[in-house]
Chain A
Amino acid sequence: AQSVTQPDIHITVSEGASLELRCNYSYGATPYLFWYVQSPGQGLQLLLKYFSGDTLVQGIKGFEAEFKRSQSSFNLRKPSVHWSDAAEYFCAVVMTTDSWGKFQFGAGTQVVVTP
């Protein structure tokens, strides 16, 4: 079955430490890949996206993600976390054959940043 998996429901990280959030997908072909962030009481904000080409993608707020076809993964990273990065992060995919671009989201990873 087609799915998007974020294995970590909750991650706690110290301010200034590095952060890596995992995302794996299960589809017949490589889909379009996205990372969104949701702060409390807010909607979703796009951090970065991957369609094709360079497998290391730079996004906003100092985030980057690496696409690994062999592992069907699209992991999100940030070298040094700020307190304002505390939020919920969602990996999302869109099938390349989907004309209407429907998102399928992972369950999300809640990130807590400690002083």
Chain B
Amino acid sequence: KAGVTQTPRYLIKTRGQQVTLSCSPISGHRSVSWYQQTPGQGLQFLFEYFSETQRNKGNFPGRFSGRQFSNSRSEMNVSTLELGDSALYLCASKLTPGQGRTEAFFGQGTRLTVV
């Protein structure tokens, strides 16, 4: 079956702009999490969605937001981009949130560069 699909793979934006990233989970998976990966901060949790509701949120400013649709696809949005938002954004798909015992499958990520 198809894996987790993230689009686009690469993106270049200018400071102050906004950006929307998309994640299509594995068919049948209902939980989608987002992580930011940077050389300085490593992998950091952004938020998790299940059944179209944000269930958990990391320590990021309000410029970072997301949503999940009825087909479980998720989008994340970053407004008023800053240079420090340059990162690889990874999406993880799980069947259910499941207290850590449910395996998470990661997409290839979207590489965002802010100039």
Contacts and interface: CB of A to CB of B under 8 A. Distances in A.
Interface in A48-106: 49, 51, 90, 92, 94-96, 98-106
B25 interface: no
Contacts of A103: 33, 35, 43, 45, 92, 104
Interface residues of B, number: 28
Contacts of A36: 106
A46 B109 contact: no
Main secondary structure of the interface of A (DSSP, over half): loop
A101 B42 contact: no
A49 B103 contact: yes
Contact of B100 (A43, A96, A106): A96
Given A41-B108, A102-B45, A102-B56, A32 B101 contact: yes
B90 interface: yes
Contacts, number: 69
A44 interface: yes
Given A42-B108, A43-B106, A103-B104, A98 B90 contact: no
B44 to A, nearest CB: 8
B33 A102 contact: yes
B107 A43 contact: yes
A101 B94 contact: yes
Interface in B72-115: 90, 92, 94, 97-109
Nearest to B103: A46
Interface of A: 31-32, 36, 41-46, 49, 51, 90, 92, 94-96, 98-108
6 smallest CB-CB distances across A and B, nearest first, come from A94-B100, A43-B106, A105-B43, A44-B106, A101-B100, A32-B100
